[in-house]
């Protein structure tokens, strides 16, 4: 198609856009609603994934060591845990750090601090804080701790307790909620995409229906298909561009309001 013919097609598309005022407004409204729904869905999915990641970051298990556990044995266990594919991170807290954290936590409790000072030795043991990549993987990590080779120093156990069983109900519920939310998000996405496709298809059919007489005349005078389709393609580009700008103006204030500032 030559440059002159391209300009004619583009000009015809703009003229058709402005001439069919009601149809253009209706098409813009439908396109804007469709884009707004898709944008809202994407934002909701982003919020959902962020919330789920925040929940997952707060779920962990703590391995409490005996007071007599040698530090080298604890570090050996830490290394074994870090090699597991299910483990995301392992944080070691020494007995001294545990005591310091306990004092900071109870700094306003004078009686507790006084009772602690009266003890001859540190009553707290070291610990390992384990975070898994998925909440459903904590059970397999706990089984490794129950059956693993690096759980004792000689014949003396180094693990006092693991708090997984105390948090098992909460972890299982969170796992169920996370999996259910992901499946629901996928189903809703598929449904809305199908609805958007149907709405867009019907919008195109509506535009062609109102221009059926014009299309018939163009065919009678021998116009090629590309000249007939070209103005409609230009109109479609205009609908999509204007609807995108409107959707951006609708959601931009919300994004600016909810986005954290650089100082945060």
CA distances from residue 173 to 48, 50, 55, 59 in whole angstroms, order as listed = 17, 18, 12, 12
Express each pLDDT in 231-251 by its tens digit. 777 777 777 788 888 888 888
- Asked whether residue 155 carries a pLDDT value surpassing 70, the answer given is no
Residues of the chain above pLDDT 90, percent? 1
d(CA 18, CA 242): 13
Query: 170 lies in a domain?
Result: no
For residue 71, give the CATH number of its domain: 3.30.70.3040
- Asked whether residue 1 carries a pLDDT value surpassing 70, the answer given is no
- Asked whether residue 91 carries a pLDDT value surpassing 80, the answer given is yes
pTM for this model (two decimals)? 0.54
Q: Are residues 50 and 20 in the same domain?
A: yes
Q: What is the pLDDT of residue 40?
A: 81
Which of 134, 162, 190 terminates a domain? The answer is 162
For 95-118, what is the mean pLDDT? Answer: 78
- Asked whether residue 119 carries a pLDDT value surpassing 60, the answer given is yes
CA distances from residue 124 to 98, 103, 120, 168, 182 in whole angstroms, order as listed = 7, 11, 12, 24, 41
Spatial CA neighbour of 8 closest among 16, 206, 222: 16
Place 121 in a pLDDT band, splitting at 50, 70 and 90.
confident
Q: What is the pLDDT of residue 139?
A: 82
Query: Strand 127-132 relative to strand 61-65: parallel, antiparallel, unpaired?
Result: antiparallel
Mean pLDDT of the chain: 77
Q: For 116, how many CA atoms within 13 A lie in the half-sphere containing its CB? A: 17
Domains identified in the chain, total number: 2
Taking residue 74's Cβ as centre, other Cβ atoms within 10 Å add up to 25
For 184-197, what is the mean pLDDT? Answer: 77
Q: Are residues 46 and 30 in the same domain?
A: yes
Express each pLDDT in 218-233 by its tens digit. 777 776 777 777 777 7
Query: 134 lies in a domain?
Result: yes
Q: Are residues 49 and 64 in the same domain?
A: no
- Asked whether residue 36 carries a pLDDT value surpassing 70, the answer given is yes
Domain that holds residue 94: 60-162
Which of 109, 128, 162 terminates a domain? The answer is 162
């Amino acid at each position: 198609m030559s440059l002159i013919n391209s300009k004619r097609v583009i000009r015809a598309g703009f003229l058709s856009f402005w001439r069919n005022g009601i149809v253009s407004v209706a098409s813009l409204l439908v396109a804007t609603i469709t884009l707004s729904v898709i944008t809202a869905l994407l934002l909701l999915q982003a919020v959902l994934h962020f919330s789920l990641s925040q929940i997952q970051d707060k779920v962990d298990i703590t391995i409490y060591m005996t007071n007599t556990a040698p530090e080298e044995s604890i570090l050996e266990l830490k290394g074994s845990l870090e090699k597991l594919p299910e483990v995301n991170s392992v944080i070691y807290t020494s007995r001294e750090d545990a005591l310091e954290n306990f004092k900071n936590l109870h700094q306003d409790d004078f009686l507790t601090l006084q009772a602690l000072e009266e003890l001859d030795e540190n009553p707290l043991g070291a610990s390992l804080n384990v975070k898994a990549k998925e909440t459903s993987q904590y059970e397999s990590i706990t089984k490794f701790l129950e059956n693993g080779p690096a759980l004792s120093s000689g014949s003396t156990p180094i693990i006092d307790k693991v708090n997984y069983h105390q948090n098992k109900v909460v972890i299982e519920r969170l796992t169920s909620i996370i999996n259910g939310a992901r499946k629901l998000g996928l189903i809703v996405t598929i449904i809305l995409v199908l609805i958007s496709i149907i709405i867009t298809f019907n919008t195109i059919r509506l535009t062609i229906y109102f221009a059926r007489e014009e299309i018939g005349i163009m065919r009678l005078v021998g116009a090629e298909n590309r000249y007939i389709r070209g103005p409609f393609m230009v109109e479609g580009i205009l609908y999509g561009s204007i609807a995108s700008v409107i959707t951006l103006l609708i959601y931009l204030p919300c994004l600016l309001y909810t986005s954290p500032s650089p100082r945060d």
